[in-house]
Chain A
Amino acid sequence: MARHFLPAFLVVALVTVPAVAARRRAVVLPAPDALTITFVAAASSTLDAGTIAHDFSQRSAKGVTIVTRTVAVRVDRRDGLTSGLVTLRASIETEDPRCTLRVDGVELHIAPVTIAIVPAGSATTHRIEITVPVSAEQGALLTSIRWEAATEENNR
C-alpha cells in the first residue's frame, strides 16, 4: 500500500510546493516587530502607584492593600494600517515578591497571559491592580510588566 502511495504523495508534494512558494511571494507578511506598543498619556513607561498605606477602615480588603491605576495602551502597525486585531498579553518582567499584579482582573506571572484582543491603532484602557499584603515589609516597591502584542494571525 505504501509503495503505491509514496509516488502519489511525492507528485502531489512537488505540485504543491511551487503553489505555496507563489503564495509566499504574493502576500507581504509583516516582519517580527512590525508592531509598536505605546503607553498613551503616560509621561514615560513608568506607573507610579504612590504611597501604599493600608486602609484599616476598608474591612472588605482585610489583610491586603489594593491600589488601582489605569493605563492606556495603543498598538500600532508600522505599516500604518489601522485594521485588524491584536492580542495583548502581559507578564511580570521584574518581580517584587511583596506584591501581586493584575491587569483587567487577570493575575500576572512570569509566563505571559492574554489580557485582551484589541483593535490595532486604537488606545484601550486597562486596569492595573497592585495588591500588597499587610505582612509585606515597608519600603520602595519596584516591579515591571512586560506587554506583548501579536497580530491575530500569529495565534491561528
Chain B
Amino acid sequence: MKHIVLIIAALSVLTVAGTASAATSSATLTVTGTVESSISITVESAGGTTSGTGTAAATSDLGNISKYGSAPTGFTLARGASDWTISSTIGVQVVKANLTSTDYTLTAQLGSAPASGVAWKLNGSTLSDSAATTLTSTGTYASTGSYSWDIVVADSAAAAAIDNAINFTASSN
C-alpha cells in the first residue's frame, strides 16, 4: 500500500510539471572556409652584433674588419698567405603550418654583387647574386639549421665597405 501511495504522488507531480511546456526552435549556421598551408623562415642567430634575430630580417654589424685587427664579435679570424677569412655561423629555422611536407629545401643568394676581392661563403659554397645556392634539400622543420659562414677577403681588395645581404629561400618538398 505504501508503494501505491508513492506512485500516485509521483504521477501527480509529473502531471503538474508537464503543464509548463515551452516554445522551442532551432536553426543551423553553416561555417565554411579554406585552410591554407604556409611556411615561415627566420634567422635565429648570426655572428657579429646582430639585431632582428627570430625574424625574417636580421642584421649583423661586423664593424671595422682587417687582416691584422681583431675578429668581429662571434667570428674567428684566419690569416692566409694572400687573403684572410672571418668565420661564424648562421642559424636558420623554417616552420610549417597546415602542410603535410616533411622537409624543405633551403637556398641562399647574395642581394648584390660582392665587392671585388671579397667572397661570401655558406657551408663552403661561394654565393653569388645571380644564382641561388642550395644549402640543404632535406631541412627539418622547426629545427634551427646551422650553416658555416665565411667571408674571404683578398689582400688585394680595396679598403671599403663590404655590405651585402644574404637572401634565404625555403621551399617545402
Q: Are B28 and A144 in contact (CB under 8 A)?
A: yes
- Tell me, in angstroms, the Cα distance from A3 to B84 when the chains sit together: 114
| 8 A Cβ contacts from A1-50 to B | 2-3, 5-6, 9-10, 13, 16, 20, 23-24, 27, 29-39, 45-50
Query: Do the beta carbons of B24 and A150 come within 8 Å of each other?
Result: yes
> Pick the contact of A65 from B23, B25, B30, B97 — CB < 8 Å?
B97
Which of A29, A38, A45, A135 meets B30, CB within 8 Å? Answer: A45
Among A35, A52, A140, contact of B25 (Cβ-Cβ < 8 Å): A35
Contact of A136 among B8, B15, B31, B98 (CB under 8 A): B98
- Residues of A in contact with B (beta carbons under 8 Å apart): 2-3, 5-6, 9-10, 13, 16, 20, 23-24, 27, 29-39, 45-54, 56, 65, 67, 71, 75, 77-78, 93-94, 98, 101, 128, 130, 132, 134-156
Q: Which B residues are CB-close (under 8 A) to A147? A: 26-29
Interface size counted on chain B using CB atoms at 8 A:
36
Of B33-41, B147-155, B158-166, the one contacting chain A is B33-41
A153 and chain B: residue at smallest CB distance: B22
Interface status of B99 (Cβ within 8 A of chain A): yes
